[in-house]
Structure 1
Amino acid sequence: MNLPVLIIAFNRPDLFSKLLAKVLSMNPTRIYISIDGPRENKDNERMRVEEVISIAKQYSHSNQFLFKINEKNMGCGEGVSSAISWFFQNEEKGIILEDDCYPNESFFKYCEVLLTKYENDDRIGMISGDNFFLSQYSIQDSYYFSTYFHIWGWASWRRAWDGYQLRSSSKVEIEETINNNFLNQEERNFWLDNITNAFFGLVDTWDYQWVYLNFRKRRYSIMPKVNLISNIGFGELATHTKEKNSKLSSMDIVELNFPLLHPQKIKTSILTDYFSRRLMFRLPFWERIFYYLFRLFYLMITKVGLIKR
């Protein structure tokens, strides 16, 4: 595979070891490993972090590996964003995987093809490995364009990451950007609250800031027709995904067929974006009814063979 990969790890040696083995099997050009330091108030965390470091250091002799190991805990916000910035300081494009995201093998080729195809297209911000249709909808093309950005296994370019900020105090700019991108007031409120909280450090995260940068640049993400990434890290040791019984936990991953069937136009669809929107906030009653009826109609005409799934 002619691409570099960044692995972002912390305190889960079992997940890190499994992901590293998968990445090694794909033989990327370089493997960047960023490991955050332990938190002082967490029992046994230093021991688990040191085990992750020990696994990584088995490859310290290889020129294929580069390491960023934090002595102190930087947290989800600074820890992850500084790792991605480090990666893109050294690489023009590549794949980013956190240690709880386990990819299907076809994810790597999918990223390789699309990173090349859209490398100079400023309309595209990133390539995601996530699909949240949950078997309720399917498309004929190999991937689709979306207004939304899911980061459980993704790829991007230095040109897209350029301009990323972890902190910002410009509430006026944030509000203007969100109002220009979304019409629904409930959705506006969702993004305003979460993005503002992230920028002001009220929530320790990096991803809302990345989403905001793409909103501000009016960019799309690319998502596959089938799910290529399984988040296997739900549970007590997770920072955010603690609900073990979540329907998003350890989702099935499916092989994507090649050659890819590319969409004819770069545009989004309200039908595919629906599945992202419903993950993030409660949709208005009329919208839930509309999509419920649409899915019933879609399944009916699929069953009688009027369209192919």
Structure 2
Amino acid sequence: MANYHVQSPVLLLSFNRPDTALKIFEQVRIAQPAKLYIAADGPRAGNEKDIELCRETRRIYDQIDWDCSVHKLFSEKNKGCKVAVAEAVSWFFQQEEEGIILEDDCLPSNDFFYFCDQLLPRYRHDTRIVNITGTNLQMGKKWGNGSYYFSQYSHIWGWASWRRSWEAYDIDLEHYEEKDAVYVLENIFSDRFLIDAWIEIFQNLKRKKIDSWDYQFNLINFFRNGLCITPNVNLISNLGFRPDATHTFNVREHHANLPVEQLEKPLVHPSYFIPEKQADYFFLNKDFFLEEKWRTLRKEQLLRRRFKRWARNLFK
């Protein structure tokens, strides 16, 4: 089958990793979007290595050899992961009603572009849906009877969305208080450790202790009760689990470099419009080490009970 040519606008995000950025660009070149947006963060102050790596990364985009309109947002100074990405996505949606976003470590299959093209118009005006992801972390497990299912967690390793969704983005969560987060999270999740972990994330974001943009996106979508469309096969391989990553630096991470799979065509749409909560728990359990935390708690409770019995027997 001939390679699919994407119809939706595409935004590429990059910084100082020319090797991974080139691989993503090569996949985009195959898809040949008619509208290509490129945003690149600048080198960190005093980092001579960054200067050359950023320059080398930006030179990749001189290789555009298909007919398309190109828009560039290149920063001379480093803004960091949080601000650089958030500003780039805002810039993109100021000019486009909908589109696809790829960071420089999210390697898409060609089917990913077809997937987004099929679903962006289908759910264009459905405000229940906040984004479409190409990432599937279910390790072969399929959910429902469709080509995709609905998740309450908004994966952003290769994703697509609409201006209407991004307009709700709040980089510093200024419109939300901790009591609101507690109420919402306790209604979404039943696992106490998971609820506490997200509350801690919320607190650290409000205190500006986390240099990231994506936790805010997820939390806001929790507040809005939004859903993410997730394919029943994996369409994105994350190449970013390595020592020079900003966040995904563990090269042995179980979600690193997952193979992409073939998407069935035409798409089969799900019969039921409900979130697959068990699917979300499957990968959140790994991400937040929930089983380990519960095992540790049970051991501690067992030891306390044994100590109490010993103490009671001691004074009989």
TM-score normalised by length of structure 2: 0.85
Residue number in structure 1 paired with 2:303: none
Pick the aligned partner of 1:157 from 152, 162, 165: 162
Q: Distance in 2 between matches of 1:212 and 1:226?
A: 25
Classify 1:203/1:187 alpha carbon distance in 2 versus 1 (closer, same or farther; 3 Å).
same
Is 2:136 the counterpart of 1:131? yes
Is 2:57 the counterpart of 1:20? no
Q: Percent identity?
A: 38
Q: Which amino acid aligns with 1:273?
A: D
Q: CA deviation at 1:283?
A: 2.9
Residue number in structure 2 paired with 1:67: 72
Classify 1:235/1:285 alpha carbon distance in 2 versus 1 (closer, same or farther; 3 Å).
closer
Pick the aligned partner of 1:259 from 266, 286, 289: 266
Q: Which amino acid aligns with 2:99?
A: G
Residues 105 and 255 in structure 1, CA contact (< 8 A), matched pair in contact too: no
Residues 164 and 213 in structure 1, CA contact (< 8 A), matched pair in contact too: yes
Residue number in structure 2 paired with 1:49: 54
Residues 12 and 37 in structure 2, CA contact (< 8 A), matched pair in contact too: yes
Q: Which amino acid aligns with 1:2?
A: Q
Q: Distance in 2 between matches of 1:138 and 1:214?
A: 21
Q: Which amino acid aligns with 2:203?
A: T
Residue number in structure 2 paired with 1:101: 106
Q: Which amino acid aligns with 1:265?
A: Y
Classify 1:136/1:173 alpha carbon distance in 2 versus 1 (closer, same or farther; 3 Å).
closer
Q: Which amino acid aligns with 2:190?
A: L
SS of 1:44 mapped into structure 2 = helix
Classify 1:68/1:61 alpha carbon distance in 2 versus 1 (closer, same or farther; 3 Å).
farther
Q: Distance in 2 between matches of 1:116 and 1:270?
A: 25
Pick the aligned partner of 1:177 from 172, 184, 192: 184
Range with greater deviation from structure 2 (16-25 or 206-215):
16-25
TM-score normalised by length of structure 1: 0.87
Q: Which amino acid aligns with 1:271?
A: Q
* RMSD of equivalent CA atoms: 2.2
Q: Distance in 2 between matches of 1:143 and 1:57?
A: 36
Q: CA deviation at 1:244?
A: 1.3
Classify 1:61/1:139 alpha carbon distance in 2 versus 1 (closer, same or farther; 3 Å).
closer
Classify 1:108/1:63 alpha carbon distance in 2 versus 1 (closer, same or farther; 3 Å).
closer
Pairs aligned (count) = 288
Q: CA deviation at 1:37?
A: 0.5
Q: For structure 2, which runs of at least 5 residues remain unmatched after alignment?
A: 1-5, 296-316
Pick the aligned partner of 2:11 from 6, 25, 29: 6
Residue number in structure 2 paired with 1:113: 118
Classify 1:137/1:117 alpha carbon distance in 2 versus 1 (closer, same or farther; 3 Å).
closer
Q: Deviations over 1:72-128 (max 9, x none)?
A: 110010011111111111101110100100011100010111111111111111111
Q: Which amino acid aligns with 2:132?
A: I
Pick the aligned partner of 1:84 from 74, 83, 89: 89
Q: Deviations over 1:171-224 (max 9, x none)?
A: 333333323433332221111111231233101000010001111110111111
Q: Deviations over 1:225-276 (max 9, x none)?
A: 1110001122122111111122211110011011001101210223322323
Structure of greater Rg: 2
Pick the aligned partner of 2:280 from 266, 273, 287: 273
Residue number in structure 2 paired with 1:187: 194
Q: Which amino acid aligns with 2:137?
A: F
Which structure 2 residues correspond to residues 243-258 of structure 1 after superposition, within 5 A?
243-258=250-265
Residues 199 and 209 in structure 1, CA contact (< 8 A), matched pair in contact too: no
Is 2:174 the counterpart of 1:196? no
Q: Which amino acid aligns with 2:205?
A: A
Is 2:226 the counterpart of 1:219? yes
Q: Distance in 1 between matches of 2:57 and 2:75?
A: 12
Q: Deviations over 1:275-305 (max 9, x none)?
A: 23223323358999xxxxxxxxxxxxxxxxx
Q: Which amino acid aligns with 1:89?
A: Q
SS of 2:84 mapped into structure 1 = helix
Residues 148 and 276 in structure 1, CA contact (< 8 A), matched pair in contact too: no
Is 2:217 the counterpart of 1:205? no
Residues 142 and 232 in structure 2, CA contact (< 8 A), matched pair in contact too: no
Which structure 2 residues correspond to residues 282-297 of structure 1 after superposition, within 5 A?
282-283=289-290
